[in-house]
Amino acid sequence: MAKPLDNRAWFLVLPVVALVAFSALIPVMTVVNYSVQDSFGNNEFFWNGTGWFKELLDPSTDLGGRFFDALWRTLLFSALCLLIEVPLGIGVALTLPRKGWGVAASLVLLALPLLIPWNVVGTIWQVFARRDIGLLGAAVNGLGIEYNYAQTPLAAWVTVVAMDVWHWTSLVVLLCYAGLRAIPDAYYQAAKVDGASSWAVFRAIQLPKMQRVLTIAILLRFMDSFMIYTEPFVVTGGGPGNATTFLSIDLVKIALGQFDLGKAAAMSIVYNLIVLTVCWVFFATTTRSQSEAVQ
Amino acid sequence: MSGATLAPAALAETRTPAESGALRAAVPRVVLGLYLLFLLVPIYWLVNMSLKTNLEINSGMTLWPQNPTLEHYRRIFTDASWYSGYINSLTYVALNTVISLAVALPAAYAFSRYRFLGDKHLFFWLLSNRMAPPAVFALPFFQLYSAVGLFDTPWAVALAHCLFNIPLAVWILEGFMSGVPREIDEMAAIDGWSFPAFFIRHFLPLVAGGVGVAAFFCFMFSWVELLLARTLTTVNAKPIVATMTRTVSAAGMDWGLLAAAGVLTIIPGAIVIWFVRNHIARGFALGRV
């Protein structure tokens, strides 16, 4: 049954529109405004047209080089997170019990990292991975492997990725578990009668049923890893050098550290457009797969 | 296919069916156990450190506190600059959850029940705000809330967090509301209920699970956020997450105090999870499973 058309529904969404417009439109206008101007302090602004954007998108300039370096780092980070967290999340979701007291206990423990403030996640990994006071750091160094996330870029990357896996794999697990629970027992019984192997059950029944939740999981994880700021900032501060300076960290440095408003604003807009493009693809694919599911 | 079906047969030659069945049943439990261990060890290390004296932390590796002390916790609970951070954080989280739910409920109802001019575009625009990096908004928010005189109040943070919590709440609630048959609305209209009375007395109880899940998510994303909360406050409304970034003293890092403060930020989340444990899986799928 199709939903009735009624434009009075606008009255119901009006409060949301007003609040989000206050929180989103005014700041966005501010950013757009700054992005086309230059300032030498004293609140004096000069028209700069598309100058910042040209500089930003040209890798041969200082700003452009810095931007693209941070962009590739952020993309690499997102890719690593997805490649580890999605298969691991599916694997763990398949091991969760389907009934009994273990269900609630496992879910509560799994959800715990998701509810920890992001800078505390950073703190946890800081005290866990430091070589002098941390269990992990001391253990790895004790095995004879040189590991110091404050000095070698590789160790910093391993720490930051491990932290993200620790922090967010549970989200993938919980989403997949929700998808798995929606599979009726009859499917498994039919598979048993047919003598299907567990791999066949996974490919033919479980994976297709998880497709929609996996779309949500992959895109949420992409967005959030692409926007990551707090956790690596607390652990590595973007270092050593610039090894873990992701886009957000660089942006905050330019905007609030150097108060380079024009550059920061132009960077914000390009950054936001990248996320928005992915968001649109996400919205288009999920709504399409939903309408297919209805048919 | 043949490879996958052959493997168990090959195993069966060397083990009795009962043995291989028990072995196979044990594998998921071992994997799950190892994963939960991986989640809990770093948290254990934080708790462990919060109960040690700083002398013990700095003097070497001990797997559990040799002289357990609650000194760090006592300091947090008696020092106003620490415990007021928790009160400030909980204040804006509560404000944000109430505001987000109050405006998201009618909007989610509209999206789940009606088509209207621009509904799809509006929905996408709302969601796009959930996807905007907070780093983009830090500076404009600072200026906006300074201009309207809300800077350094819990209201500034609560309103700023609405940016990503309202879209999420609308999204979750819309999923749950779409699961309620529309006949209920029509029957209420025939019985002569006014819309507000019907909505509050009959409809809300039907989506109570969804409201709980939406509240959980609002709490979660407001509680864990640092960048905006830190940017929009200085002294009076400083949240605990910002207080924690300044534990460096003349004597170096106060690791024990930092760890104790961290442990105390985990507790509210753990309590909230316990309350919604039965809805959590569905909620994470945003009511769409």
Sign of CA pseudo-dihedral A225, A229, A233, A235 = negative
pLDDT digits (tens, 9 = 90+) for A49-87: 777 788 778 888 888 888 888 999 999 999 999 999 999
Q: In chain B, what residues touch A170 (CB-CB under 8 Å)? A: 39
pLDDT band at A46 (very low <50, low <70, confident <90, very high): confident
Put simply, whether A7 touches B (Cβ < 8 Å) is yes
Residue B6's pLDDT is 37
Angle among Cα B48, B49, B55 to the nearest 5 degrees reads: 130
pLDDT band at B250 (very low <50, low <70, confident <90, very high): low
Contact A28 B114 (CB under 8 A): no
Check whether B131 has a pLDDT greater than 50: yes
Residue A42's pLDDT is 59
- Give which of A26, A43, A119 to mutate to test B binding, by max B Cβ within 10 Å: A119
Least Cα distance to A273 among A226, A205, A215 occurs for A226
Closest to B277 (Cβ–Cβ): which among A19, A104, A261? A104
Residue A103's pLDDT is 82
- Nearest chain A residue (CA) to B55: A133
Domain with CATH 1.10.3720.10 in chain B: 75-284
Long-range contacts of A196-201 (CB under 8 A, 24+ apart): A197/B4, A197/B5, A197/B7, A197/B8, A199/B4, A200/B1, A200/B4, A200/B5
Alpha carbon distance A132, A149 (integer Å): 12
Residue A247's pLDDT is 86
Q: In chain A, what residues touch B131 (CB-CB under 8 Å)? A: 223, 275-276, 278-279
Q: Are A48 and A36 in contact (CB under 8 A)?
A: yes
Q: A168: number of CA atoms within 13 Å, CB side?
A: 28
3-state SS class at A38:
strand
CATH architecture of A50-294: Orthogonal Bundle (1.10)
pLDDT digits (tens, 9 = 90+) for A119-159: 889 889 988 888 888 888 888 888 888 888 888 889 899 99
Alpha helices in B118-243 (DSSP H): 119-130, 134-147, 154-178, 183-190, 195-198, 204-206, 208-224, 227-231, 240-243
- Give which of B35, B166, B282 to mutate to test A binding, by max A Cβ within 10 Å: B35
Contact B289 A212 (CB under 8 A): yes
Q: In chain A, what residues touch B282 (CB-CB under 8 Å)? A: 178
- Give which of A5, A8, A92, A115 to mutate to test B binding, by max B Cβ within 10 Å: A115
And the tokens for B272? Answer: 């909230």
Percent of all residues in chain B with a pLDDT value above 70, rounded to a whole number: 87
pLDDT digits (tens, 9 = 90+) for A192-234: 888 888 888 888 888 888 887 888 788 888 888 988 888 888 8
Residues 210-229 on A with a CB inside 8 Å of B are 212-213, 216, 223, 226-227, 229
pLDDT digits (tens, 9 = 90+) for A79-128: 999 999 999 999 999 988 877 778 888 888 898 998 899 888 988 998 88
Residue B166's pLDDT is 93
Enter the pTM of the model.
0.84
Give residue for tokens 């983009």.
B136
Check whether A1 has a pLDDT greater than 70: no
Q: How far is CA A144 from CA A154, A171, B246, in A?
A: 16, 34, 34
The average confidence (pLDDT) of chain B is 82
Q: In chain B, what residues touch A276 (CB-CB under 8 Å)? A: 128, 131-132
Residues 33-72 on A with a CB inside 8 Å of B are none
Q: What is the mean pLDDT of residues B144-156?
A: 89
And the tokens for A98? Answer: 């389907």
Q: In chain A, what residues touch B61 (CB-CB under 8 Å)? A: 133, 135, 138
The answer for residues whose C-beta is within 8 angstroms of residue A212's C-beta and 6 or more apart is A179, A286, A289, A290, A293, B288, B289
Check whether A278 has a pLDDT greater than 90: no
And the tokens for B33? Answer: 């156990």
* Domain boundaries of chain A, sorted by first residue: 50-294
Q: How far is CA B181 from the centre of its chain?
A: 29
Residue B287's pLDDT is 56
Closest to B49 (Cβ–Cβ): which among A120, A127, A213? A127
Put simply, whether A175 touches B (Cβ < 8 Å) is yes
Residue A287's pLDDT is 64
Residue B62's pLDDT is 78
**Alpha carbon of B185: minimum distance to chain A alpha carbons (Å):** 13
Q: Are A134 and B256 in contact (CB under 8 A)?
A: no
Residue B144's pLDDT is 87
**Alpha carbon of A60: minimum distance to chain B alpha carbons (Å):** 24
Q: How far is CA B141 from the centre of its chain?
A: 22
Q: Are B115 and A3 in contact (CB under 8 A)?
A: yes
Percent of all residues in chain B with a pLDDT value above 90, rounded to a whole number: 19
Give burial (CB, 10 Å; 0-12/13-18/19+) of B40: middle
Least Cα distance to B47 among B59, B63, B34 occurs for B63
Closest to B128 (Cβ–Cβ): which among A2, A247, A279? A279
Q: In chain B, what residues touch A128 (CB-CB under 8 Å)? A: 41-42, 45-46
Q: What's the first-to-final CA gap in chain B, in angstroms?
A: 30
Q: B124: number of CA atoms within 13 Å, CB side?
A: 16
pLDDT digits (tens, 9 = 90+) for B48-105: 988 988 878 777 777 888 888 888 899 888 888 888 888 999 999 999 999 999 999 9
Contact B140 A216 (CB under 8 A): no
Residue B53's pLDDT is 84
Contact B39 A110 (CB under 8 A): yes
**Between chain A and chain B, how many beta carbons pairs sit less than 8 Å apart?**
288
Q: How far is CA A148 from CA A239, B11, B35, B167, in A?
A: 12, 44, 24, 41
CATH architecture of B75-284: Orthogonal Bundle (1.10)
And the tokens for A163? Answer: 């932290």
Closest to A175 (Cβ–Cβ): which among B104, B134, B285? B285
pLDDT band at B2 (very low <50, low <70, confident <90, very high): very low
Q: How far is CA B52 from the centre of its chain?
A: 29
Q: What is the mean pLDDT of residues B130-137?
A: 77
Beta bridge partners of B252: B249
Alpha carbon distance B286, B104 (integer Å): 14
Q: How far is CA B44 from the centre of its chain?
A: 20
Backbone φ/ψ region at A269: left (φ over 0), alpha (ψ -120 to 50), beta:
alpha
Query: Exposed e or buried b for every residue in A176-201, given b needs 16+ CB within 10 A?
Result: bbbbbbebeeeeeeebeeeebbeeeb
Alpha carbon distance A268, A32 (integer Å): 9
Q: A36: number of CA atoms within 13 Å, CB side?
A: 8
Q: In chain A, what residues touch B128 (CB-CB under 8 Å)? A: 276, 279-280
